[in-house]
Amino acid sequence: MPETPIEAIERKLLERIDILASISSDFDGITRIFLSKEMDTAAKLIKLWMNNAGLVANVDPLQNVIGSWPSENAKAPAIHLGSHYDTVINAGRFDGILGLLLSIAAIEVLQTEGYTPKHYINVLGFCDEEGVRYHTTFLGSSFLCGTFDLEALDKVDEQGISMREALKARGYDAEKIEATKPIILPGDLFIEAHIEQGPALEALDLPLAVVSGIAAQTRLEVKVTGKAGHAGTTPPKLRQDALTAAAEMILEVEKTLKSEESLRATVGHIKISPNASNAIPGQAVFSIDLRYPNYDGLQTTKASLMKALKAIANQREVGIVIDCVQETGSSECDPFIQETMCHSLSKFQEGAPTLLSGAGHDTLKIAQTCHTGMMFIRCRDGLSHHPDEYTSPQDIRAALKAWVEIIRSLDQELDS
């Protein structure tokens, strides 16, 4: 049996995921970092695929790829869809890329069906979501929203190359960044499809979910100061062991984690000194990653955890300094978009679960400008940011069907 046009689009989508996975600065894994030559190669291909899907495509002054559906009758507000095409170091092949390629494929399906959109539709490929090179996330999406911080141009990477210099080296004009008008405007809609990066959909035995929002997140650094001493000569009474104090504090973090279903609390990094087998640790520095569905709840949890850690320090007679290293507020997905997505998903699977995203996404940034929504796609073992990241072709086909339906429904139901 010859391939139908829709089957051909599905096949191309799967092939494109593999092609982009082969564009990497290291041979073993997948690594595509902002303003690298690999990103340029990927941008050219994405632009070509957008053109093939019937979109008018270009690469903007920051390396975002934008594909617009030209239509004389299309009205504002616009509908934007997409995700990022940069990666972490040694990444998997689906994070970001799947959402972007799925959006291009969905447009191709709609164009093949002869669909005429009521609104402007743009497919967006964001150049830097992961923030690997300049340790600043959401550069691509903030630029398209008009909220890009121009001071970021003077940030330098680990080689001492400023963003301004890196742009120039790739043939971009940093001056154009200031003059470029935003594409994502208040009142517009933005939707993103993304692998779940968690195990909930596997547990539910379903391929797709609607995202209710993105959790607020804070990162703390806790420095515990005791007194270094000889392991053989210092009796218990004279010890101020920074590591045993930190250990008790880490168990307190775990107690916090278990205190509420929707809370996430993790200690993922610890450094001690002197870090020698015959010495009592004089200092321990560890991280705490706290996430909660809303910002106020996060603040309450943070305050009570800090109080508990200080009490432990007090009781063990060690010093404690807690610094907040990073903090982002939560974002709620738009109720109208969530409802439309639930309705669309229910047509293709048994129910439409709603999940909160514990991971940050471009959607979090874009939610500060316009209405947003997200769809999650199941990934094996919830694994992400790893070469073994995997989403099955069946789930990708299911995601494409649902995504086409979601775009069409939003376009039909959104008031102009």
Interface positions with Zn ion (CB under 5 A) = 95-96
**Cα–Cα distance measured from residue 292 to residue 214, given in angstroms and rounded to the nearest whole number:** 9
Instruction: Determine the Cα–Cα distance for residues 260 and 357; give it in Å rounded to an integer.
Output: 16
- For Zn ion, the closer CB: 95 or 196: 95
Our CB check for Zn ion shows the closer of 99 and 207 to be 99
Dig out the tokens for 90 from the structure. 């040694």
Torsion of the alpha carbons at 165, 167, 168 and 173, rounded to the nearest 10: -130
d(C-alpha 148, C-alpha 171), whole Å: 20
Nearer to Zn ion, 95 or 108 (CB): 95
Q: Which two tokens stand for residue 191?
A: 């939707």
- Let me know: does 326 contact 364? Beta carbons within 8 Å: no
We find the least distance from the C-beta atom of residue 96 to Zn ion, in angstroms, to be 4
Q: Which is nearer to Zn ion, 96 or 140 (CB)?
A: 96
The nearer residue to Zn ion, 289 or 411, going by C-beta atoms, is 289
Least distance to Zn ion, CB of residue 10, Å: 22
| 95 vs 241, beta carbon nearer Zn ion | 95
Rounded least distance, CB 312 to Zn ion, Å: 36
For 276, the token pair is 């020698």
Beta strand 75-84 with 119-126 is parallel
Beta-strand pair 208-214/354-357: parallel
Q: Which is closer to Zn ion, CB of 38 or CB of 95?
A: 95
- Nearest distance, CB of residue 360 and Zn ion, angstroms: 9
Backbone angles phi, psi at 3, to 5 degrees: -65, 135
Report the residue number, 110 or 195, with the smaller CB distance to Zn ion: 195
CB of 140 to Zn ion, least distance (A): 12
Nearer to Zn ion, 82 or 96 (CB): 96
- The nearer residue to Zn ion, 96 or 198, going by C-beta atoms, is 96
Q: How far is CA 263 from CA 217, 247, 271, in A?
A: 10, 21, 25
